[in-house]
Amino acid sequence: MTATEIRQAFLDFFVSKGHTIVPSAPIVIKNDPTLMFTNAGMNQFKDIFLGEAAPKASRVADTQRCLRVSGKHNDLEEVGIDTYHHTMFEMLGNWSFGDYFKKEAIAWSWELLTEVYKLPKDRLYVTYFEGDEKEGLEADTETYELWKQYVAEDHILRGNKKDNFWEMGETGPCGPCSEIHFDSRPDNERAEVNGATLVNADHDQVIEIWNDVFMQFNRLKGGVLQPLPNKHVDTGMGFERLVRVLQGKTSNYDTDVFQPMIQFIADKSGKKYNSAAKPGDADWNDAVAMRVLADHIRAISFAIADGQLPASNKAGYVIRRILRRAVRYSYQTLGFKEPFFNQLVPLLAEQFKGVFNNLFEQKDFVQKVILEEELSFLRTLEKGLRRFDDLQEEIITNSLEKFPSTPKTFSSTEEVMKAIQDTANAAANSQIVVPGNLAFELLDTYGFPIDLTELISREKGWIIDMEGFNLALQQQKERSRAATAIDTGDWIVLKDDESVEFTGYDETETIAHIVKYRKVTAKGKEQYQLVLDKTPFYAESGGQVGDKGELVFPDGEIIQVTDTKKENGLIVHFTDKLPQDIDDALTAIVDPALRSQTNSNHSATHLLHAAMKQVLGSHVNQKGSLVNADYLRFDFSHFAKVTDEELAQIEAIVNQKVRENIPLKEERSVLYAEAITSGVTALFGEKYGEYVRVITFDDNFSKELCGGTHVKATGQIGFFKIIAESAVAAGVRRIEAITGVAAEKYIVTQNALVNQLKELLKNPKDLSKSIEGLLDENAKLKKEIEKSILEKSSGLKTELAQKAEAIGDINFIAQKVALPNADAVKNLAYQLKDIVSNLFLVLVADFDGKPGITVMIAENLVKEKGLHAGNIVKELAKEVKGGGGGQPFFATAGGNDISGLDNVLVKARSFVG
Ligand code: SER
């Protein structure tokens, strides 16, 4: 069976058992602070397990793209070294939400593996949870009894909490689990060593393929297990491992999931991939590197396609670290000195067409982002790698300096040479400790994530002084934290009711109560954060800034709201003080002018997005957005500068839509699936709930999923004007634009400027032609002036030459000249040198109120008398409170005191007298 057939057989099987197939969630998680990336198929159902959301169907199945590179589930270090862990992998899963439980889950797992996929039963082992006294959990004997119907007893094994109690993270849904393992060793090995002893023992041929979790608890902060409202089933099967087992391979990389990629890398690098290479073999490093590249490109591409660009912190940094790890292997091990890693994207996108289309749809963008990352890391990688060599050399040199450590007499040169060699070898082989500050320098200056430095050190058999590294890192963090320290106090709860109603779509004034508040100190400034039971204040999200406004109290007190933000579903109002009467009803009033300008900019952003898709193409996708009262900023995927003509076209379409005065169609609760079928624009990598809000301006023009506030009809936008277009990152460009009053003001100012120019130029018929004429004329005049200065300085030449005074064998000239700049004086000095032999020349000049000194000394005088124009000019410059320098035969200086010029001339004589 091909990988595609294997995946399909899984989905078909569960459809036949009454399951609905659902799409994979994005790999990047945006709204769960406990998790950065999807690490299991069940993540997207977390709310259902916890009883916080109702399921659409009680039985579902899917293939989910997962990433295990951080937090509780992290396989990164194993990837490439072994043949069955991956950063990104597909997890095939079936779920029961309060429907079937252990009996069916176990029966179906067995049926699928042995009857559909026809895996040999005697190679399968299953496990069950042995219980845990500390947690107060009993052994899962029910699972044991259920398995006994299908599996020989010596193939049913007990497992501890580590292996048989599955948890999503430090907190969240969890429960006992039952794993299914497959023994793929040859028969002779199986006869020698019982497979049961190799289960969960890191044996690369006895591997877990499927995990059935029986969800029953929620792990709370602090560790307590709280029973869930219902019992659920969550199963996860590693797709790449299943394919390997069914295709009779001993490595995931030997299946059709990875082979095309591995072969591509092998071809391009001119190296062979040896799947059987062992550590220490000549081709081991190459094999690891090829596996790493074939694996990592998946994690990085899908993360970028789902909206996570590489960055210097949080989830973005996790992606950058993986990317740099791959680039190092590509550069150092496989010898690609130019960016190569990005070239894997098209192949991968093609492979996942029909499975996860989001990559195919954005493949050019993803490739471009990776290329730019590669280019940037390649700029420092070589230098960083050299620091490792330097370290080794330094250590050898240090040891040799100490040589011979014990006094010894040598009888021959060979003996001395041998002793030196031995000392060098011993130093090279000794356990080298990478100093903590070097590891930090590698991070800070050369962009080596610490895990990359660790990996390279490990390959060399070195260790890192992690304590020193952490200290250096800590010190840096403290330096930056001191600048931005925020101290957040505890919430003080006035009313226990946590449900907060947002009224801002319908009104800008609402009567409300404060339900809780807290004090926050940031950079020494005190602020308060207030939560109301009802509020018209829009909290910053989806690019739209938070509202500003007032809270008005019955006693007349008015508290300013300076910003509004979201925190875990709460709407938090920022104020500088607390009201006198905190329990009173208040009127929350959003600043109407700011809100209306913001509405205008937000609606214009939707029109802009739609117009851009028309003019530039459907590849244009939103990558970021900012909407406030002053302007709008829209970042989008596009590869070239948007030309002036394109910008004009976009602007024209938006303004046309403004003039059409299209009424806003706002649908607050549309089924997500229906919205998508109707062609709505959704963001890649955004996880939407079952019901979404749809904002439409003309059914055939702009339809977007959006939570923001908008104009009632596009006419309110008034006028739309793009004011800037620029690049922000690889493949991402930015448009900034204004609307309404701001756009009007902009046009008025521009117009006034043009009028002013016209007036200055005496109202010419064609303004730009007349400016061009002025510029031409100016350039001509400049040339003429330069010419006349040169003529003047040449004229001075004869005059000055005649003033030369013979002092000993020196022809001394010290004069003030009326030339306008240093170049003209320099020109004169060089000309004098040609006609006056043994010249000692000092010229001073007044350059628009600034003193200038030039010293020229004939080369023979420099040689014979040791005179040095550079030193002399420095001395002379003291007279004009200045400084300068130059060569022994020519030097210049400037200064601040023009009145000292005559003294310079007097002092000059002292050098020849
Ligand atoms: N949640 C379990 C796992 O990830 C089973 O799907 O292994």
**Interval 53-75: pLDDT, tens:** 889 899 999 999 999 988 778 88
Nearest Cα to Cα of residue 690 among 669, 707, 666: 669
In a domain, 70, yes or no: yes
Type of residue numbered 657: K
Q: Is 235 in the pocket of ligand 1 (CB under 6 A)?
A: yes
Q: Tell me what the mean pLDDT of segment 224-245 comes to.
A: 96
CATH number at residue 139: 3.30.930.10
Residue 27 pLDDT exceeds 80: yes
- Among 594-598, 633-637, 862-866, whose mean pLDDT is lowest? 862-866
Residue 814 pLDDT exceeds 70: yes
Query: To the nearest whole number, what is the mean pLDDT of the chain?
Result: 92
Give residue 665's pLDDT: 97
- From 35, 39, 42, 179, the mutation candidate for ligand 1 (largest count of ligand atoms within 8 A of CB) is 42
Type of residue numbered 535: T
Residue 913 pLDDT exceeds 80: no
Q: Tell me what the mean pLDDT of segment 468-473 comes to.
A: 91
In a domain, 648, yes or no: yes
Give residue 427's pLDDT: 66
Residue 891 pLDDT exceeds 70: yes
**Strand 558-567, strand 570-575: pairing:** antiparallel
- pLDDT confidence bin for 32, thresholds 50/70/90: confident
- pLDDT confidence bin for 31, thresholds 50/70/90: low
Residue 104 pLDDT exceeds 90: yes
- From 38, 43, 166, the mutation candidate for ligand 1 (largest count of ligand atoms within 8 A of CB) is 166
Tell how far the Cα of 95 is from the centroid of ligand 1, in angstroms.
Answer: 11
Residue at which a domain ends, from 590, 606, 625: 590
Q: Is 238 in the pocket of ligand 1 (CB under 6 A)?
A: no
739 and 795 in a common domain: no
Residue 483 pLDDT exceeds 60: no
Q: Is 166 in the pocket of ligand 1 (CB under 6 A)?
A: yes
248 and 180 in a common domain: yes
Which is more confident, 459 or 154?
154
Residue 170 pLDDT exceeds 90: no
Q: Tell me what the mean pLDDT of segment 413-429 comes to.
A: 75
Which segments within 346-490 are labelled E, that is strand? Answer: 433-434, 463-464, 486-488
Prior bond of 888 cis (ω within 30°)? no
Q: Is 179 in the pocket of ligand 1 (CB under 6 A)?
A: no
Tell how far the Cα of 236 is from the centroid of ligand 1, in angstroms.
Answer: 5
CATH number at residue 903: 3.10.310.40
Residue 396 pLDDT exceeds 60: yes
Q: Are 828 and 843 in contact (CB under 8 A)?
A: yes
- From 24, 234, 241, the mutation candidate for ligand 1 (largest count of ligand atoms within 8 A of CB) is 234
Q: Is 41 in the pocket of ligand 1 (CB under 6 A)?
A: yes
DSSP class of 126: E
The partner residues of 842 in beta bridges, in order of sequence, read 814, 855
Residue 475 pLDDT exceeds 90: no
Residue 293 pLDDT exceeds 70: yes
In a domain, 35, yes or no: yes
Q: Is 105 in the pocket of ligand 1 (CB under 6 A)?
A: no
Residue 168 pLDDT exceeds 90: no
| Beta carbons within 10 angstroms of residue 365's beta carbon | 24
Q: Tell me what the mean pLDDT of segment 629-648 comes to.
A: 94
Give residue 29's pLDDT: 85
Tell how far the Cα of 323 is from the centroid of ligand 1, in angstroms.
Answer: 26
pLDDT in tens, 844-853: 999 999 999 9
Determine the atom of ligand 1 nearest the C-alpha atom of 66. Answer: 4
438 and 419 in a common domain: yes
Q: Are 873 and 893 in contact (CB under 8 A)?
A: yes
141 and 217 in a common domain: yes
Task: Count Cβ neighbours within 10 Å for each residue of 425-458 and write b for 16 or more, e otherwise.
Answer: eebeeeebebebebbbbbbeebbbbbebbbbbbe
Determine the atom of ligand 1 nearest the C-alpha atom of 91. Answer: 6
Residue 10 pLDDT exceeds 90: yes
pLDDT in tens, 752-786: 999 999 999 999 999 999 999 999 999 999 999 98
Give residue 400's pLDDT: 67
Residue at which a domain ends, from 224, 257, 290: 257
- Among 131-145, 466-480, 816-830, 891-905, whose mean pLDDT is lowest? 466-480
183 and 34 in a common domain: yes
Q: Tell me what the mean pLDDT of segment 115-140 comes to.
A: 96
In a domain, 867, yes or no: yes
Residue 247, both tokens: 């295709």
Q: Is 67 in the pocket of ligand 1 (CB under 6 A)?
A: no
- pLDDT confidence bin for 315, thresholds 50/70/90: confident
Tell how far the Cα of 629 is from the centroid of ligand 1, in angstroms.
Answer: 46
237 and 110 in a common domain: yes
Q: How are the residues of the chain apportioned to helix, strand and coil, as percentages rounded to the nearest 5?
A: 45, 25, 30
745 and 670 in a common domain: yes
251 and 105 in a common domain: yes
In a domain, 423, yes or no: yes
Determine the atom of ligand 1 nearest the C-alpha atom of 237. Answer: 6
318 and 420 in a common domain: no
Residue 93 pLDDT exceeds 70: yes
Residue 629's φ and ψ, nearest 5 degrees, are -70, -25
Determine the atom of ligand 1 nearest the C-alpha atom of 40. Answer: 4
Residue 221 pLDDT exceeds 90: no
pLDDT in tens, 201-214: 999 999 999 999 99
Residue 848, both tokens: 């628009």
- pLDDT confidence bin for 726, thresholds 50/70/90: very high
Q: Is 42 in the pocket of ligand 1 (CB under 6 A)?
A: yes
Which residue's CA is minimally distant from atom 4 of ligand 1?
40
Residue 178 pLDDT exceeds 60: yes
808 and 722 in a common domain: no
Give residue 537's pLDDT: 97
Determine the atom of ligand 1 nearest the C-alpha atom of 93. Answer: 6
In a domain, 765, yes or no: no
Domains of the chain: total = 6
Rg of the chain taking only CA atoms, in angstroms: 38
Measured distance CA(432)–CA(896) in Å, rounded: 58
In a domain, 762, yes or no: no
Residue 377, both tokens: 């890391």
Give residue 428's pLDDT: 67
Which residue's CA is minimally distant from atom 2 of ligand 1?
236
Q: Is 900 in the pocket of ligand 1 (CB under 6 A)?
A: no
Q: Tell me what the mean pLDDT of segment 736-745 comes to.
A: 96
Which is more confident, 873 or 496?
873
In a domain, 514, yes or no: yes
Tell how far the Cα of 118 is from the centroid of ligand 1, in angstroms.
Answer: 23
- From 211, 216, 239, 240, the mutation candidate for ligand 1 (largest count of ligand atoms within 8 A of CB) is 211
62 and 205 in a common domain: yes
Residue 119's φ and ψ, nearest 5 degrees, are -75, 140
pLDDT in tens, 642-666: 999 999 999 999 999 999 999 999 9
- pLDDT confidence bin for 806, thresholds 50/70/90: very high
Give residue 47's pLDDT: 87
Tell how far the Cα of 241 is from the centroid of ligand 1, in angstroms.
Answer: 14
Q: Is 436 in the pocket of ligand 1 (CB under 6 A)?
A: no
Residue 423 pLDDT exceeds 80: no
Q: Tell me what the mean pLDDT of segment 627-635 comes to.
A: 96
Q: Is 209 in the pocket of ligand 1 (CB under 6 A)?
A: no
Measured distance CA(435)–CA(469) in Å, rounded: 8
335 and 264 in a common domain: yes
Range of the domain at 668: 595-753
Residue at which a domain ends, from 236, 257, 278: 257
Tell how far the Cα of 42 is from the centroid of ligand 1, in angstroms.
Answer: 7
